[in-house]
């Protein structure tokens, strides 16, 4: 309720009146206070009956845009190990893909330095090339793209034009 009230008071579609950081700070403070009042840890207050289940992580493995000094337009290329049954298995799968991405990039003579967000930042001709390299890395790690591991994007489209 407090989140919606703040959005209503702000009245903009990009939270420019109150500011996203202020809205987030108030939202988290209210959630922590409510959890404390109910004598619950914050994760149980927020997660309810599913509080023992961690979500599938989204791992940023290739950077472009404002986060990297390269030719890739889109800001973040991520993987989601949705085929994992536990968070630790998802972390292992993501780590394996990350290391295999380094291998396939290096094999083709591409830079394996990392961008601001921790993903590799090679100079590639197209954004599609980035996805092709990620698919190669997923397969090299022994997983099936689109089944075991999804590819997710944060293009930061506001910076493209």
Predicted local distance difference test score (pLDDT) of residue 33: 96
Predicted local distance difference test score (pLDDT) of residue 67: 65
Question: In total, how many domains does the chain have?
Answer: 2
CA distances from 20 to 13, 31, 38, 67, 120 (A): 11, 16, 27, 20, 28
Q: In the listed set 31, 50, 69, which residue is the last one of a domain according to the structure?
A: 50
Tokens of 129: 């090339």
Q: Model confidence at 99, in pLDDT bands (50, 70, 90)?
A: very high
Domain carrying residue 148: 59-159
Residues 46 and 84 in one domain: no
Residues 114 and 155 in one domain: yes
Q: Model confidence at 78, in pLDDT bands (50, 70, 90)?
A: very high
Residues 31 and 71 in one domain: no
Residues 67 and 33 in one domain: no
Q: Model confidence at 135, in pLDDT bands (50, 70, 90)?
A: very high
Residues 68 and 32 in one domain: no
What span, in angstroms and rounded, lies between the C-alpha atoms of 136 and 100?
A: 8
The pLDDT mean for the chain works out to 92
Predicted local distance difference test score (pLDDT) of residue 158: 80
Residues 69 and 100 in one domain: yes
Handedness of CA 105, 106, 109, 111 (dihedral sign): positive
Predicted local distance difference test score (pLDDT) of residue 53: 75
Residues 114 and 41 in one domain: no
């Amino acid at each position: 309720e407090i989140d919606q009230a703040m959005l209503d008071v702000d009245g903009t579609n990009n939270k420019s009146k109150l500011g996203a950081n202020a809205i987030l700070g108030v939202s988290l403070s209210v959630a922590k206070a409510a959890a404390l009042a109910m004598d619950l840890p914050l994760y149980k207050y927020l997660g309810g009956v599913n509080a023992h289940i961690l979500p599938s992580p989204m791992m940023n493995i290739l950077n472009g845009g404002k986060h990297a000094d390269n030719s890739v337009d889109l800001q973040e290329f991520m993987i989601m190990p949705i085929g994992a049954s536990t968070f630790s298995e998802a972390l292992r799968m993501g780590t394996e893909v990350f290391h295999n991405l380094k291998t396939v990039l290096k094999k083709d003579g591409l830079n394996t330095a990392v961008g601001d967000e921790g993903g590799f930042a090679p100079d590639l001709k197209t954004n599609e090339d980035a996805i092709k390299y990620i698919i190669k890395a997923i397969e090299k790690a022994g997983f099936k793209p689109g089944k075991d591991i999804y590819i997710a994007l944060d293009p930061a489209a506001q910076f493209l034009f």
